[in-house]
Amino acid sequence: MKKSKIKEKITLHPIMTILILIAATIFLSGILSLLGFQATDRKISATSLEYTTSISEVKSLISIEGIKYIFTSTVSNFVAFAPLSSLMIILIGIGIMEKSGFLKTAFTLLTKNAKKNTVTFTLVFISIILSIIGDLSYIIMIPISAILFNYGKRNPAIGIIATFAALTCGSGINVFLTSIDSSLLSLTQLAANMIDKNYVIETTSFVFIMLIAVIILAILITLITEKYLVYKLDKYEIPETEIEEEFSIGKKEKKGLALAIIAGLVYLLIFLYNIVPGLPFSGKLLDDSQLFYIDKLFSYNSFFSTGFVFIVTMFFIILGFFYGIGARTIKNNRDLCEDLGHSLDGIGKILVLIFFASILINVFKYTNIGNILVILLANLVNHVSFTGIPLIVLLFCIAMVATIFIPSSITKWSIISAVVIPTFMQAGISPEFTQVIFRFGESITMGLTPLFSYFVIYLAFLEKYNQGNRSIHLLKSIRYQIPYSILTCFAFLTIIIVWYIVGLPIGVGVYPNL
pLDDT in tens, 212-227: 999 999 999 999 999 9
Distance CA(107)–CA(94), nearest Å, equals 13
- State the average pLDDT over residues 191-211: 88
Task: Identify which has the larger pLDDT, 302 or 366.
Answer: 366
Distance CA(457)–CA(138), nearest Å, equals 8
Express as a percent the part of the chain with pLDDT over 90.
46
- For residue 223, give its domain range: 2-502
Q: Is the pLDDT of residue 447 over 50?
A: yes
How does the average pLDDT of the chain come out, rounded?
Answer: 86
- State the average pLDDT over residues 192-196: 88
Q: Could you give the dihedral angle defined by the CA atoms of residues 77, 80, 86 and 88, in that order, rounded to the nearest 10 degrees?
A: 70
Does residue 170 form part of some domain?
Answer: yes
Distance CA(43)–CA(41), nearest Å, equals 7
C-alpha distances in Å from residue 469, one per residue of 1, 5, 473: 15, 11, 12
- State the average pLDDT over residues 5-28: 79
Instruction: Count CA within 13 A, CB hemisphere, residue 511.
Output: 8
Note the pLDDT of residue 469: 55
Distance CA(82)–CA(385), nearest Å, equals 42
pLDDT in tens, 147-192: 898 888 888 999 999 999 999 999 888 877 777 888 888 899 998 9
Going by the DSSP 8-state scheme, the letter that residue 133 receives in this structure is G
Note the pLDDT of residue 413: 93
Q: How many other CB atoms are found less than 10 A from the CB of residue 229?
A: 20
Does residue 20 form part of some domain?
Answer: yes
- State the average pLDDT over residues 50-69: 90
Query: What is the value of pTM for the model shown?
Result: 0.91
Q: Is the pLDDT of residue 480 over 80?
A: yes
Going by the DSSP 8-state scheme, the letter that residue 62 receives in this structure is S
Contacts of 443 (CB under 8 A, 6+ apart): 168, 169, 170, 171, 172, 173, 488, 492
Provide the pLDDT confidence category of residue 242 given band limits of 50, 70 and 90. low
Cβ 105 vs Cβ 112: under 8 Å: no
Does residue 512 form part of some domain?
Answer: no
pLDDT in tens, 333-381: 887 888 787 777 778 888 889 999 999 999 999 999 999 999 999 988 8
Note the pLDDT of residue 104: 87
Does residue 507 form part of some domain?
Answer: no
Does residue 514 form part of some domain?
Answer: no
Coil, strand, or helix at residue 467? coil
Does residue 233 form part of some domain?
Answer: yes
Does residue 513 form part of some domain?
Answer: no
Report which residue type is found at 314: M
Does residue 273 form part of some domain?
Answer: yes
Distance CA(412)–CA(495), nearest Å, equals 23
Instruction: Count up the domains in the chain and report the number.
Output: 1
Note the pLDDT of residue 220: 96
Q: Is the pLDDT of residue 502 over 90?
A: yes
